[in-house]
Structure 1
Amino acid sequence: MTTNAAMQGKAMSVEEEKIQGGVQSLEVGLTVLDALTAHNAPMMLKELSEVLSMHPAKVHRYVVSLIRKGYAQQLTDGRYSLGERAHAFGVNALKRTDMLELSQRYIQDIQQHLNCSIHVSKWFADGAVVVQSLESNHVFNIITRVGSRMPLLKSATGRLHACFQPEHIIRPLLEKEWESSAKPEQYPANWEDFLELKAKILSQGYASVTGDMMAGINAISIPVFNFTQQLDHVITCIGTEDQLPEGQMQQAIDYVLGVQRQIDALFHPAAAI
């Protein structure tokens, strides 16, 4: 007598076989699509056939199907390349990619190389907010709590974020900080000063402070852009004068800018060439 459990097990086995079996013709078609994707340039049928180790007539049948569905196209010179549907897949994949997750390996590299504290921030409705914080191996650590809103005028983090916000958003927030500031001699002290600082930051590609937010505490911030070249998040290295000496800031800046270029090359390979 067959039990319910046995029947369920048999049903699962049949279902697993179906899944494992797959559709061979689809797999072959996707292999052809993979070859077009990996080549980075249009291909002649003969070239595609050689790459796939497949008879040209067979390759042609699959290419025709890919063209019909918009995943491939034939150019006027006879070569084949990716079609609009394939490009749409790529764009959608980029849109769904978590840039912060992508940056993790590089964030860890910076933390280990400079051995200083790191915090990562994103721009929310009314300011730059810390979303990740890593401590250094030093006895004395600069700890920035996740959820902290960073000052726009005194912190490298805030200054960098401010440079990428439109005037109608950032100017009222800066005015509010100027009004509540207890240091009238601070820089930037007004909108004109900020525009001057903004031009400098955008030109050099980073923001830095040496004791501006807190005496003896230095920081460097670099931007990370998404696939549309919009600011996604900011990585900030922060340390004491011993950990991040003012006299050696340029060396640290050169290093983090090099890392920033590596991150940027992942999403903008054409710009990195």
Structure 2
Amino acid sequence: MGSPLAPPHRECIPWQGLLLAASLLTFWNPPTTAQLTVESRPFNVAEGKEVLLLAHNLSQNLVGYIWHKGERVDANCRIGSHVIGTHQTTPGPAHSGRETIDSNASLLIQNVTQNDTGSYTLQVIKEDLVTEEATGQFRVYQENAPGLPVGAVAGMVTGVLVGVALVAALVCFLLLAKTRRTSIQHDLKEQQPQVLAPGECPLSPGVAPRPGPRTAAPIYEVSVGHGCSGPTGPRGPRICPDWHQLKLRHRTMILGASQVLPVM
């Protein structure tokens, strides 16, 4: 990097003559930007950072060069000038103490502010006193989050959005799994065979279920036919083995209740 800008010296008469010659040649030779170019690195620079204005396609037979703030050559907007033969750098009226001119004609501006946004013009002076000019520019922006670059902030926002999407997808998956599991359990419960008591036969479709403790149940009275014979005991007549002679009368009662319904 070049030497810091030194305060101007009144005894530097040759340099003042070079500036006068460059000013006169500006009117005699229209500036061209066909060969000389200025590149800003970076173009968008955060406030408080530094930016480098780099010159490209410099001629070999140069005497010196001058940096100006703005889109044209203006002595009042001169940042500084550099003489190649003596390696002497002189600050100008627009110098703020943050600018450094390097030996390769580049201009370094440190700790940039919003007021530094704009164009900067480089004027080079050749040995034949022919001048050539080129203009570059950059933009200064204020960082969104102090201490964090814009890329880091964008990465954090993207990560949060991705995390929210994953959580939402997981919740939906769990709800669907729970709903499916409940439906399967319900289907299995409906398909489960009926538990029967000992000695009870499974009911076929259309057969009434087994009466509960308070449901109506049929009872039957048995009457003995006239052709049955045999002694009678204390419990009543002995039933003959001829079952076809039995007459059944259907009676309904409520189990667990003392009331007996009429015979059907």
- TM-score, reference length from structure 2: 0.21
Bigger radius of gyration: 2
Larger helix percent:
1
Q: Which is bigger in relative contact order (C-alpha 8 A, separation at least 6)?
A: 2
Relative to its length, the structure with more strand (as a share) is 2
